[in-house]
Structure 1
Amino acid sequence: MRTVQHDSPSRRWPWFTLACVMALADQLVKEIVHAQMSFGQVIPLTPFFNWVYTGNTGAAFSFLAEAGGWQRYLFLGLALVVVVVLVVQLCKPLSRLEACAYSLILGGALGNTVDRLARGYVVDYLDIYWGEWHWPAFNMADIALFAGVLMFAVALWRESPAFKRSE
């Protein structure tokens, strides 16, 4: 059963706080990486994990990374739309799961958008691999985005008629 928060500012501020904390934590780690490492530097930590300093001018999995520069403005525009939509959604009565999902997506979007504005690329620093196979490098904002989308999918599933019939 969906538990909806009351539509009051005191019920919304924790979700906006979570988004801001996620974006700020992401930016703090990226600033440490930028200040302490050379671009392209790789620090092996385990047989399957490196700490790296790389940049992504594209989207997930470097989509459009080699597009010539125009993609920066496309992704900034999309991020602005996403941020506005998520802020509006967070002002509505939502279940805790939905509110948390939107907050994580908002925090991740803000974290990566700040990079695009400030540097022209998103700083990535987490590199997971197995043998010669490497997952594309990612960052804390990407983790927040993924977790938020996953939570949103669970929230949608829980609201589905099939789920409600099984209760």
Structure 2
Amino acid sequence: MTAGTTKRTGLIWLWLAAIAFIIDLGTKSFVVSHFQLGESVNILPVFNFTYARNYGAAFSMLADAGGWQRWFFGVIAVSVSGLLIYWLKQQAANKYWSNIAYALILGGALGNLYDRILHGYVIDFLHVYWDKSHFPIFNLADTWICIGAAMLILEAIMESKNDKESSNDS
């Protein structure tokens, strides 16, 4: 690297986190302005839009904890977001897979954090079910987080596989 040049880091992927955040907030705003709490509209035989509020975390964990969980999960979201930004800064910009994963998780974490701070709960509306079995209602922020986490897991598996193949070739 020559004097005057800077290393491009994964921070250039913050645009993706911003887009994920904006899409999440937009869909939640649409649901709140067009649905009554608990209202459900069938979209597919296995999928509804159902307006719900989640006062807890994943699968409504700690939803009935009395209110302290709002701040607890908020602190976790701020901490994870800070860690993700740090990791993005440490990464080269061309590490596409992990940068996209970090950006999606960051956008999702910030979307749910926004809800917790503004409302005290997270707005959920994606309702997947089969027959009488219902998956907990979730939102796009949760989807971004899950996609990003799955990408990181797949990356770790592939790296582990490549490391084993490299060591077997030597």
TM-score, with length taken from structure 1: 0.90
| Residue 120 of structure 2 is aligned to residue 120 of structure 1 | yes
Contact 1:58 1:72 in 2 (8 A): yes
CA distance in structure 1 between the partners assigned to 2:99 and 2:28 by the alignment: 26
Question: Where in structure 2 are the equivalents of 1:26-65 lying within 5 Å?
Answer: 26-65=24-63
**2: CA distance, partners of 1:166 / 1:57:** 46
CA–CA separation in structure 2 for the residues paired with 1:20 and 1:77: 20
- Flag the structure with larger Rg: 2
* 1:3 alignment partner in structure 2: none
Counterpart amino acid of residue 116 in structure 1: R
Identity of aligned residues (%): 38
Contact in 2 for aligned 1:52/1:124 (Cα 8 Å): yes
Q: Is the 8 A contact 2:18 2:107 kept in 1?
A: yes
Q: Which residue type is aligned with residue 164 of structure 2?
A: R
**How many Å apart are 1:48 and its aligned residue?**
1.2
Alpha-carbon distance between aligned partners in 2 of 1:52 and 1:22, rounded to the nearest angstrom = 21
**2:152 partner letter:** F
**Structure 1 position 111, deviation (Å):** 0.7
Please give the alpha-carbon distance, in whole angstroms, between the structure 1 residues aligned to 2:47 and 2:97. Answer: 31
Q: Given residue 53 of structure 2, which amino acid in structure 1 is its aligned partner?
A: G
Aligned residue for 1:126, secondary structure, equals strand
Q: Deviations over 1:108-160 (max 9, x none)?
A: 00111101011111100110111111000011111100000001111222222
Matches within 5 A, 1:120-159: 120-159=120-159
In structure 2, the gaps of 5 or more residues are 1-5
RMSD: 1.5
1:47, distance to aligned residue in structure 2 (A): 1.8
Partner Cα distance (1:100, 1:29) in 2: 21
Where do residues 11-26 of structure 1 align in structure 2 (5 Å cutoff)?
Answer: 12-13=11-12, 15-26=13-24
Question: In structure 1, what is the equivalent of residue 88 of structure 2?
Answer: 90
Contact (CA 8 Å) 2:16, 2:103: kept in 1 or not? yes
Runs (4 or more) in structure 1 with deviation over 2 Å come to 162-167
Counterpart CA distance in 2 for 1:104 and 1:153 is 14
In structure 1, the residue corresponding to 2:90 is in which secondary structure?
coil
For 1:44, what is the secondary structure of its paired residue? strand
